[in-house]
Each structure stands twice: as C-alpha cells, then as structure tokens.
Structure 1
C-alpha cells in the first residue's frame, strides 16, 4: 500500500555553524557560534519518535563522511587552507534531506514507478559536493523495481530538490498535480532553483505536462530570506498552505491549480496577519503538513513558531476554525533551526510502499533507541568553529559515523 514516508536526515557529528548559506538569515546570524552536534542529533531523533507516535511511517538518511578530503583535494586545498574552505568540507548540511532529491510518486509517472532525482546543490560550495554520497544512499534505499533513481541535473542549472517541489492529490494512490517552484533573484541573495532544472526533472520523471506546473517564487520572498519555497509554502493532500507573498503571480497559479484540482483547499496566510519577516523568523511554513491515520491534517511546526506572538495567534485561530488543518504539534529542533533548517528541511517525503524500501533505512522506536545510544556515546558534545581543522575532531567524527553504520548493519556498504 502506498504511504507517505518521511525520510529524516540524522544530524551528523560534524554539525557546526559556519554561516555558509548566503540568503539564509538564521545561518548568517549564528555564524561561528558553538554548535552542539549530540543535542542536535538527539533532537532530530525525538522529532522522528514524535511522528512515529502519530502513526506516520518514518525513514532515515545518513550523515556523509566528513571532512570531505577527496573534494578538498580536487580543489588543491586541505583542512589547513584559509577559511571558509575547512567549513565547506566539514558541513553537516546533508541533514536537511528536503534538499536530497525531488520525488514523483508512481501514480504521477509514465512508467508507474516512483522516481527520485538527486539534487545537484551547485549554488553553494558547502553543498555542491553532497550529491555523490546522497545518490549512493538513494540507490541503496530504493533499489527495488518500483523505483527509478536519477543522477543530478548538470550545472549550471541549480537544483535544490524537494524544498522547491510540492504535490497535491486526492490520495497517495491517485494521480496528482506536481508543482515546481523556481526563482530568479532576491536582491543580494541568489535564487537557488533554476526553471531549467525543474523542467529537466519533470522530463526525467515522465510527468504529464498537463498536470505539472512551473511557478515562480516571489523575488520579495527570496530577498526576505526565503531561500527555498518551503520557507513560505507547504502542501499535503488537497491542501496548499502558503504565505500571501510566496509566489510572483499567485492569482494565475491559484487559477491553474483550481482548474486542475477543483477540490483543492488553499489556505493563504495574509501578510497583514503574519508578516513575511515573522513567517521566516518562525519557520511557520517550514513545518511538516501531514495527513494523520484519522484523515485529519496536522502541522508539525518548530517551537519557534509558538514563540512569535503573531504566528502563535494565527495558528490558534487556524486550528479552531473549520479549515483542513485541525491540529498543530510543536517540536524542538533548535540546533537545526539555528543553522537555518526547520522540521520540513529535515525530511524528504517519498510516497511508496514501505515494504519495498531497504529496511535498514526504516525506523521504529526500538531502532531509534539504539541510534540514540550510539549518538549519546560517540557524537561530539560541542564544536567550536575555530577548531574545524583539529585532527582529533576528525577522528572522533569518523568513529561516530562508523558506529552509526554498524548499528544499522550498513558498515559494509559503499556509503
């Protein structure tokens, strides 16, 4: 049976605040602060545990080897090179698996397979070297005949994965409308998703052109710090939850959507109620919008959303009303949030039969308990950005990752 599985990234043992992501206001604000990798990873596991208890299937993707010495060598650089090169090589950004790939479920594709295209992430140096390791994981986790895993769109067409992709459908087993959101610019901040990349992914996935939309993100949203669409909009089932200023031409987009899906429910948050600045600071839209086993929809939001008065008040009215979103759950992912990634950044949605996924990439509460023990025993407690070149830290990070792979019975795989 097709179900929506959230594949969360386990926060890696090299989690640090390098301030590397131009246009990501939280990342810039916390640059060079002391990070807490162990706490970050445990917070991520608790979010997964919370979602499991809501009855939602849960998978994982893994931290990458760090530092990435082969990539450094290709630059003619080393961990002794001038900043920010060491931070580029030590980035734990693969934790944000919303950027791992774009996923089209089987009901939408020409060949009836679930297609995944790994994102190239070429816009930012610290992320540009992620895709080869991510591709290895995807090809292992989704090796079954019901999946097709594609390599990246070539540079220079930036592709940042599911963070700029939404799907609306009456149910997981029915054909839906796939929405690719691209950008142009945002003042001093670059647009990271190129329209050509969106079109290439849609072609590789064999999507029906009549049910595929390419929508431009508003320049004002990018300029305000919405470096991905999922900072200002999220979709699930037949519900689109978006800020009034998310899209360049929202009237045209909504009209197309209502033509293709007359039953769509558009929940638009007025700028007069929640400013773009408050939406981005709270990561209101970087929440997981999910359909629970009961059929009701819920928003799994960061605790920061409850701390911003305008956002808190809006959410209280939202769930008290007669709209499709009936509950809000707040989760603590503060270590991730401080580096610019909320609950939605930490997960990649894959609509598939869980039985067809490599079981080593699926989790239950017992497996989360084992992973928590490994992380508690091996992850660094803190990392100071001034010490990223410390060989002892590199040894600890490598040993921690090796212990994780062993706990998952993945130690013999080329990952």
Structure 2
C-alpha cells in the first residue's frame, strides 16, 4: 500500500518526525539506515504503530511514496568532521527506487553545500532522474527537542530551502501538514546554514555560562542567583545554565573538514564545554579533601547519567567521562538513574543503586549530574553525606553547587 511519507533513518531525528507525521494523519513508513537509538519511549512507539506507522524491511517500498525525508545521523568521525556514511547509504538505497515527482528532503545535520554537492549527485546517478526537473530536492533543519512538552512539532516553525522555487514549494506543502508555520529560506545553503547557526548558538552560550561558573566559584559569587536576576531583563538576554558538560545528538560544528575556514568561536566553545567533566571531577576531589577524605577509595554516587532530564538517552552524556576520571583517581563509582537500568563504563558494568536515599547516605560524595523530575532534591540533600550539584537544582545552601 503506498504511503505519503517515508522517513529514512529511525534515530533521534527520524523517529520524532515519523511520530509527528502519524499524529497529523500522514500515512508513514520508516526505513532504518543502521542500528539507531531514538528518544521515544516504548509507549510512544506502541502508539505510533497502532496509529498506522509501518517500519520497512524491504527498501523496494520506498519507491511508492510521495515524500522521502532522510534523517540519517551524521556523527563526528575520527578527524572531527561529520561522517556522512549513513546519509550516503540512505541516498543510494532511495535512488535505486526513486520515481519522478517524488519530493526528497534532507533533515540530517550537515554543513552548507552538502545537499547540492553530495546528496544530489548520489540521487541523480542512482535514479537517472534530474533534481529540480524530475524530482524535488530540499533541505529542512531538524528542530527536535526530545522531552520538551512546551514546544510541539505542530507549534514549531519549519524552515525549508529547495534547489528551485518549485522544490521549496513542494517541501513547504508537505511540512504544512505537520506544522502551523513554514518559513521559506532563499535556497538550500541558507536552510543548511540555519541548522549550523541554531546548533552553534546553543553550544557557544552554554560555553559562556560554563566559564562563568568556574569564574564565579573562584570569586565566591552565586552564579545561579546571577542568572536568576539577569533573566528578568526583557530584552537582549536569554538564560542558559551551566552543567557538567554538553551531551545530545546536535554536536557543535566548527566547519571541520570545510575547505575554506573554521569558526574560531565555536572551536573555543567546544574546548570550554569539553573540559567541564574534568572540572567536575576536580571539584569532587577538592570537596572530598576538604572533608578529610581522599578520592582514592571514596564511594562516589552519580545521580542521573543521561544527557537530558527525564529521558533514557545516553548520547554524548558527560557522565561517561566523569565516571572514567573518578575511577582513574581510584574512586568506587556507583550510579542511580530511573531511566537507565544498566550502565557500563570502559566495558565494565557500573553498580546501580537500588535505594536512592540509602545509597546517598552510604556514599562519601553524591554528584547530581542530571535533574530528573523524580528526584526529591530537598530530601536528598538531607540524606547525602556530601552533595555536589552540577545543575543548580537543589535549594540554596543545601548542597555545594557547580
């Protein structure tokens, strides 16, 4: 049975798109490009399937859809550049089945020029069709914010940039079924650069507050109170908050691998954010020392090891490096996370605490890495021998804050 939409790549970008399409009544099929992990819960996946979503095992059915959206992940390679391997595999799979009048949209995070210079030749060579004449080609930056209940797909504007004006309009018609507002970019490169700007905006601003956290600790200033006051300014300021590191699927892009230049500010932001796990461990060791204990042999409990609150996603979580560094100092590390039943570091399972309060009371140091809603931070601050709060979530004076 033909479908309106094929989502190619069922990971952190593809599954939310498929979920939004199914919710909007769009007949949707999905095709995985590799072993992918998304952020949808089992209950959400069951609802999608009951609403008609069909995962494909036979790629031949990709030739029977009106719109195909490539959402394959683009992780960083060993050289720091984006790895387009799964995008290429998705393009080759689709190209062999591509039919005239299909609209093909790329949503994967890529650098400007990728859709036209990398994706277009693969599709044209594999299909014998010409983009802009025989099929439509467009780019739309993915605007997925897993777990955010305030900004639904329907209420989040979608940016579209096509190879030709007709390509833009075809893609806009499709996304108009999913969202209340479609924003037309001038072309493919402009739409791709929107994604670049939005991702880097997040990383640069997080780096700023992370540096402020280090400075304020040295000055004896309560940064969390500074942010509370600063965010009352009704113009020219958006509040970001520090943390133990930056995780997630949207890696900062400093144009590594680009022929012309890099973005110096983004490079610096990456350096700042990448050193936060080390800073957290330094603070932990100092706290233990101030209380007459050594990191070697200390029992350290990590609370919340996912990269984002109330999700089971471990992609890029700073908890991994923090655990490695603590173990390197000789600490006995355990963890508690209601969303992670088992966790391994350096291919070794990390002991999981069954009883949160008992574990916190037993640990020499408890480190809050992620603020899950289920955590009673007031009660935790009472039970824990020593508590380091990297999220500024505990009541004032109840813990040592980052």
Q: TM-score, normalised by structure 2?
A: 0.30
* Higher-RCO chain (CA-CA 8 Å, sequence separation at least 6): 1
Specify the structure having the higher radius of gyration (Cα). Answer: 2
Q: Report the structure, 1 or 2, having the larger strand content.
A: 1
